[in-house]
Amino acid sequence: MQIKHLARLIVVYCLFAGCASSHHANRQVSSYEPTPMEKVESAISEYRSSLGLNKLKTYSALQRAAQKHAEYLAKQMVLSHDDQDGDIEQRVLAEGAKFEIVSEVINCGTDDATVTLEAWKKSKSHNKVITYNDLQYVGVGFQKIDSDAFACNYIWVIDFGGNSPK
């Protein structure tokens, strides 16, 4: 009788331990990986913050203008601040916003946000745009180039807005 009782305890223990192990093994851990656009936006804000400047807020009109421009540049395999829709001010206006200040930086290179930001920091003119004190808003465009005929694999477009959007 004692053996049957002991066997039942072992079976109950194994079932409980197995359920507990199974429960822990099946627990899903969130493994959200930020997009390259989120990474570069965060890196720019952290860089600005390290210099005592304000962090930038995402602004949807800037985001749309930057993404459309990145897609255009990748398709045409060119680097330019102008496209068929005009310059940055015209492109942002076409997306429904007008800022007192608009700026843009472009990069042709890797999908690595850190490498991209470092390239902009090393360029005096690009760094000046990124660290301009009166900027408050940002929109990031990012596009893979589907051709080996161009000098790089990815296009980055960062559009900035300053002072209150109108």
Write down the pLDDT at residue 6: 40
Amino acid identity at 61: A
Beta strand 57-58 with 135-144 is parallel
Residue among 61, 64, 51 at smallest CA distance from 130: 51
At residue 164 the predicted structure's pLDDT band, cuts being 50, 70 and 90, is: low
d(CA 104, CA 161): 9
Tell me how far apart the alpha carbons of residues 153 and 147 are, in angstroms, rounded to a whole number.
Answer: 8
CA distance 134 to 136: 6
Each residue's pLDDT tens digit, 113-141? 999 999 999 999 999 999 999 999 999 99
Which pLDDT score is estimated for 85? 82
Residues 87, 104: Cα–Cα separation, whole Å: 10
Instruction: Determine contact, residues 91/83, Cβ cutoff 8 Å.
Output: yes
Q: Distance (Å, rounded) from C-alpha 143 to C-alpha 132?
A: 25
Q: What is the pLDDT of residues 55-84, one digit of tens each?
A: 999 999 999 999 999 999 999 988 999 888
Mean pLDDT of the chain: 84
Please give the residue that has the higher pLDDT: either 166 or 150: 150
The C-alpha R_g of the chain, in whole angstroms, comes to 25
pLDDT mean over 14-31: 49
Q: What is the rounded distance in angstroms from the CA atom of residue 166 to the CA atom of residue 156?
A: 26
**Contacts for 57 with CB less than 8 Å, ≥ 6 apart:** 136, 137, 138
In this model, does residue 15 exceed pLDDT 50? Answer: no
Q: Whole-prediction pTM value?
A: 0.78
Does residue 19 register a pLDDT over 70? no
User: What are the tokens at 156?
Assistant: 């980055």
Query: Model confidence over 36-54: pLDDT tens digits?
Result: 999 999 999 999 999 999 9
Average pLDDT (6-21) is: 40
